[in-house]
Every structure is written in C-alpha cells, then in structure tokens.
Amino acid sequence: MRTAEIKRRFLAHFEANGHTVVPSAPLPAISDPNLLFINAGMVQFVPYFLGQQTPPYARATSVQKCIRTPDIDEVGKTSRHGTFFQMNGNFSFGDYFKSGAIPLAWDLATKPVEAGGFGLDPERIWATVYLDDDEAYDIWRATGVPAERIVRRGKADNFWSMGIPGPCGPCSELYYDRGPAYGREGGPEVDEDRYLEFWNLVFMQFERGPGTGKEDFPILGDLPAKNIDTGMGLERMASLLQGVDNLYEIDEVKPILDRAAELTGKRYGVHSGHAANESHPDDVRLRVIADHVRTSLMLIGDGVTPSNEGRGYVLRRIMRRAIRAVRLLGYQDRALPELLPVARDCMAPSYPELAEDFGRISQYAYAEEDAFLATLRAGTTILDTAIAETKSAGRAALSGDKAFQLHDTYGFPIDLTLEIAAEQGLQVDAEGFRRLMADQRSRAKADAQARKTGHTDVSAYRRIVDTTGLTDWRAYTDLTTESTIVAILTDGEPVPAATEGQIVTVVLDVTPFYPESGGQAADAGHLTGPDGAGEVIDVQRPVKGLVAHQVRVTAGHLTVGARLTAHVDAIWRLGARQAHSGTHVLHAALRQVLGPTALQSGSYNRPGYLRLDFAWPGGLSVDTRSEVEDVANQALRDDLPVTAQVMPLTRARELGALALFGETYDEQVRVVEIGGAWSRELCGGTHVTHSSQIGLLALTGESSVGAGHRRVEAVVGLDGLRYLARERDLVTQLAAQLQAPREDLPERITALLGRAKAAERRADQLARELTAQRARRLAADAVQIDGTLVVSVVAAADEDPRQLAELVRAALAQDRPGVVAVAAPAERGTRLVVATTATTPDALSAVQLVRSALGGRGGGTARLAQGGAPGLTADATLATVAGLIRAG
C-alpha cells in the first residue's frame, strides 16, 4: 500500500467517525516561540488543549508534516533516524477520552484492506499502558487484546510531553510483531526492533512544568478538559504495510536512495563484515542523501530558504550534508538537479503543491548547491593544509583559531570542519572556536549599542523610568508637543543642564519624535524654550517605553525641569512616511509578481529612500524589475487607503498579517493595511493616509545580500522625481556624445564595448607574447649552482610573478634539475613564487624553498609554491633562495 493511500485511509476513517479533517500546518512553527519547526502532530492544537482558545470543532484529524533535528548527526548511522516525518493524528478536545480513542485505533489497524482498513493481524499487535493506568488496561482487554500482550511501562516510556512546559499525560502505545527474523521473542520490553511501535495514544489531561529529560518535571495540575492526542507514524506504518525493513525502503524515500546509488556507482545494503548495529559508510551516506534531500524539498516547499540563522541555517546544514555525502561517494557534479526531481515525484502524490511549485523550490536548492560547492573549493584546501600541519606537529586537535578563520573568512561551516577533522582522526578545539564566536558577537553587540546610545549605560535609563515614568509618546498623532525635560545625560551620567555647543541626551515627559525602529530612521527636528534651543539629531528607545533624544544645543542652555516646545520637522516626517509606506507597497508588489514566498527579511527607510531585503534565490531580470515597479506605482495611482489599528496578536495572525521571522511581538500589535488585504503587515512605523501621497516609486538597484536573499533599493516622492530627471539628463548627454537617437543607445554602446574588449584581448595577447619572449631569454641565461639550472628574477610591475615563473620553467631543459625564483615587491614586503622542473630533487622542493626563504610562510606543492612576507626586499629574498640551493 502506497504511503499516500495510507494517509487517505487514515483521514477517511476518522472523518467517517465525526472528525474534522484539518490540513497540515506549515513546517516552520511560527506560532510557537519555543520551536523552530513543528515536531509533533498536536503542535497546532496546543492552544485548544491548554484552554487558551475555543476549538472550532470537538474532534479533529490531520496528517502533520514534522521536522526533528536534535539528532541530525545520527541520521543515516542507523535505519531508524530521520529528520522529516509525517504524523497521522486524531484529536478530541474534551469530547471522547480513552474509551473512544482505543476502539477507533484498533478498528482502523485491524480492519481488512478491502473494507478500508490497514489489515494488520490482531494476533501480532501488542499494547503498552502507563504503570497505574488500569482504565486503559481494562479497555484493551475488552477490545480483545489478551493480558499477556498488554505491558505496563514507566514514565520514561509511557508518559508523554513535548519536552517543554505544556500539555502532558499517560499514553498507550501499539506495537506490531514483525516476526523472529527481526529479533527476540517477548514483547516491546525485550526487543523494539522486532516489536515495532506504530501508534501512540496520549491521554492528555495534565499540564507539566519545566524540567529536563523524560521524567524530571513537575505536574502543575489538570488541563481544563480531558483530551485525546494520538500519533501514528506514517513512515512506520508504510514500512509495515509495504513489507520493508525501515523508512529508507518505503515508496517515498527508496527511489531517492536508488538514484543516489546509481549516480555514485554504489550498491546499498550489500556490505558485510561490519560490527553488529554498525552500517557501512556507503550505506550511511546514501541514507543521509535520501533523508536530507526529501527534508530539503519539504522545507523549501513550506517557505524556508537557506540562510545563516534560525530555520534557514538548519535547512542549509541539511542540504550541505547531503551534497557533501554525494561527493564523498565519488560523484563530483551538481547532484541536486538529479535528486530533487526524484524526491518531488515521491512526495507529490501526497502533496501535489510540490509539483506545482517545483520551479521556485528548485531555484533555491540549486543556487544553494552552487554556493556550497564554491565554499568547498575555497575552504577544503585551507582545511586540508591545516589538518596536515596539525598532524605533522603531533597535535591531536585543530586549533579554534583555524576553525574560526574558516567560518568567519571563508564561510566554511563549523559542523563541516568538525566532520572532516573527525574523518582524519582529529578533534577540533570547539571551546576555542565558541570563545572567538562569542567575542565576535560581543564586539558586534557593543558596536551596535555604541551607535544607539553613545556607550550610555542603559541602567541610567531604567533609573529614569523608575523616577519619572514612561514617555508619553505621540508620534502617530502630533508633530508638536509642549514638553518638560525630565533628564539630561552626558556620557551616561545625569547632569542638571547643557550649554550651547554640547551634544547631550535629553529625555522629555511628552514627545512627538519617532525613534529609530522597525527599519525607519529617527525623526529630525528642534527643541525650543525660553532659555535655549537644540537640534534633535537622533532619537532612540534605549529601554522599552522610554524615548531618548540626542540633541545639539544651538542656543542658550537646556535645564532639567524646563518647559519647551518639541517640534518634528514636518518635511522630514512626510518623507519618512512616504518611504515607510513605500516599503510596504514594494513588499506587496514583490509578493504579487514573484509569489508569496518573497518575504521581507529586513528593511531600512529614511525620507525619500528605502531598501528592502527579501528571500529569493536569484537576481531579478530587467523585465521582472519593471513589472514590480509597475505594480507598485499602480497601487499609488489607485489611491489605496492606508489604515492602522491595534489588535491582539492572535487576531492579526488570523487576518494573515505578515511578520518578520525571528521577531518577538507583544500580545497587542499594530497592523498597517494598504488597500486592505493587499498589504497587511505588523508595523510600528509612521505612514501616509493614502497611497497616492507616496508620489511615485522608482527602483534604483537590486543586488545580493547572501545566498537566497536579495536587496532592492528605491526612491519615492520628490527624490523619485529627481532620480528620474537625472536619468533623463544622463541619457540626453550620452545621446549627444554618441550622436545617436535615444532608442539606438543600447545598440551603439554594445558595439563600443565590443570593440573595447577586442582591443583588450589583443593587448593581453601581446603582453603574453612579450612575457613568453622574456621567459625564453631568462631560461637561456640560467646559471648553474651545483648542477641545478637556476633563474632568479624580479618581476616587472605589470607582470604576473606566477605566470612568469611557469613560463621560464617550461623553457628550461626538462631533463635537468631546475629552479625558477620570481620575486615581486608587495605592500610592506615581498611576494615570492618558486617553480621547479620534474627532475629537481626533493631536497629542492618548491614549497620548502618558499617557506625557508619567507620564515615559514607560504604554501603549494613540490613543483610550484608561493607566499609573501613583510619586511623583505625582492633582491634579498632571491639571494636567500640562491643560498638555500647552494646548501642543497
């Protein structure tokens, strides 16, 4: 029975028994801050179990997509671990309990196939119950399970929770006896390979508190109602009904594994001679590929894109483990174009949307593979050298400095460094690596804090809040307020006053100024009072609820307790509102043109200008950029209403308001709409009241900000008009200089560039010929040192030292030992390249000569090496090389 059919039968059985079929929630656990991904079938129903929300149905059933990654390193080592799986579940919210759940499960499991069931032999099914759960025991007996096949087990096995505070309760598990070929007789307590668990019925009636492990947590009390949460592993049931050993052999996984084996020329499951419970490395890697490719397909399908943080990092790690496993099996070409379509065909019967959206999914996947292959080429060479040096020095661990350099400079993931080092029998100074990472984060955090507060200790602001209360903030309604100075700070210390010329931090009791937040730049404006005035040059919110103004005192003095007028520059605010609303319009236009997965990942806007970062795997074509610009300006022309309202976070989610992944929000949030549902986002910024007030929106740039993420920049309002005017003037100037009509400019410029490139190629060819002639002359003038032909030369400023060295070596007699040393002045030192002929003895190895001449610096092979060192002249370096050759 195919997996898709098992899924269909499960849902049909429970729908026929009064359950509402609920679609799977997307894999990213957006609604639960404790989870990156949905990891259990009941996650989307937690608010109902806890009584936080009223369920719209008393009974539900679903087949939930799940991801579990804590043991990702174990995937493939056995046939039991996987990252993506599907959990069939039926749920009761205060409706039926044990006496309803147990018969429903038994009926579906044992009902004949021709009657719509799974047809499992009832004589081979075992049940387990919690130690003191006599009620479940009696129901199983009444159902027909004999006492000898009902096992009582403890809290570690038969008491369920998610591992975090929340619902919990005793459970009852169903096991199927696969026969003596799979292990010892005696039930689940004896052998859980032979007796395979396929269904877990959780009798959810308690709420647990924090704790560790499966047993160390307190029971806080009863839930508002007794509930049922069951989970039947779809992959496990598929392995039972398809007569295969494990999840890697079912119809949704095995074709991927088979294609990987075909590509790499390996055979799965034929190896012998390994210890019990230990798989052959080839089998491990094939399982890693099959699992991780399928998981990547499902994650990208649900909107996750590769990145260096959060969910995106998990996806990136999974994809890179699969790609590297393919390469370790000997296949060096791009693998995902061969494997991902197979995964699509496996999963599309259950999830047809994967086939419909495969163009987008494959774009992200193939771009990530290309980026990773480039990283591998750069990082692996450096890592291999570091491993060799570590081993030659007799050390057992790669230094944390080297691991950090690989990560920070070359983008080489630390988990990959750990894996490769382990394969070479080395450890990695992970503690040193983590320390360097922590130092880097601390520096970044300190830099950011310095930019925001001028190094002011935020505890000073907390004291202000404790003394005078929170700021009465009126940025949404006013441009001017009558205010009182409640505090003035200089270098983090409160002062009573500030005089002309000083730059200080001023806290007001009431303010109309918008502090920098949500990607919007801070307001500009002035403070004016009877005794002094100041220019507001920055506004921040250093602690929640308090607004701090950085002020340059321009006249007189400002004093704590003084009354003054706080006035926002109206032109500045208008430009800021245009830019922020323009950001929302551009986001909506991108999603309309590219699709709903083109989600914002960051933004910045100031008067007249905006930039928006969003998830997308490749650059936008000229036509696509034009279409996005047209959609945005159509929205401006349509004069869409712009509204903002505060509502509960749950209501905002129900409306589909967009929020940034990774951001945390209060229970009450502000939702900004432009044209109703066309653009609906959580936002705390200032906005226009109608889209036409933005004026116009002109895209000025589009670029990459990392794998899978793009950035678009635009100007709005008068700045947009000025930008287009400058573009017009530039085209006019080019047309006049080239004496060509505007419409002919692209063709004329292309022709000019073609001629220029042809001239560059001719010049390069001439330079190569001149270098080759010089190389032949240098080879002819080679001197002999103890029977070795030696050429020492300082490269000219326009010569490539490596190319010159290789050309001279090629011109030397190849049947004689020969050494070519080319030095070139570099910034604060010298660059040295050494090339040797094939007959040169090992004592004159190129890499050894370079390192000896440069004090240990440099790298390469015995035939070609290079390096650089500060404080050396070219002539002195060549003299050192000559002395080394004489010393032999």
Residue ranges at the known binding site for Zn(2+): 580, 584, 683, 687
- Structural element, H or E, at residue 462: helix 458-468
Query: b/e for 751-789, b at 16 or more Cβ within 10 A?
Result: eeeeeeeeeeeeeeeeeeeebbebbeebbeebeebeebb
Cβ 189 vs Cβ 120: under 8 Å: no
- Structural element, H or E, at residue 731: helix 717-738
Residue 119: alpha-carbon gap to chain centroid: 43
CA proximity to 607, closest of 521, 679, 683: 521
Cβ 548 vs Cβ 506: under 8 Å: yes
Half-sphere exposure of 409 (CA within 13 A, CB side): 11
Structure tokens at 140: 């199983």
d(CA 649, CA 854): 63
d(CA 135, CA 138): 5
Distances (CA, A) of 174 to 17, 64, 884: 20, 19, 77
List residues forming the annotated binding site.
Answer: 580, 584, 683, 687
φ, ψ dihedrals at 83, nearest 5° = -95, -40
d(CA 876, CA 685): 64
Looking at residue 242, its amino acid is Q
CA proximity to 453, closest of 492, 486, 496: 492
- Any idea how long the chain is? 888
d(CA 326, CA 420): 14
Looking at residue 94, its amino acid is G
End-to-end CA distance of the chain: 75
Residue 124: alpha-carbon gap to chain centroid: 45
3-state class (DSSP) for residue 168: strand
d(CA 327, CA 350): 30
d(CA 247, CA 237): 9
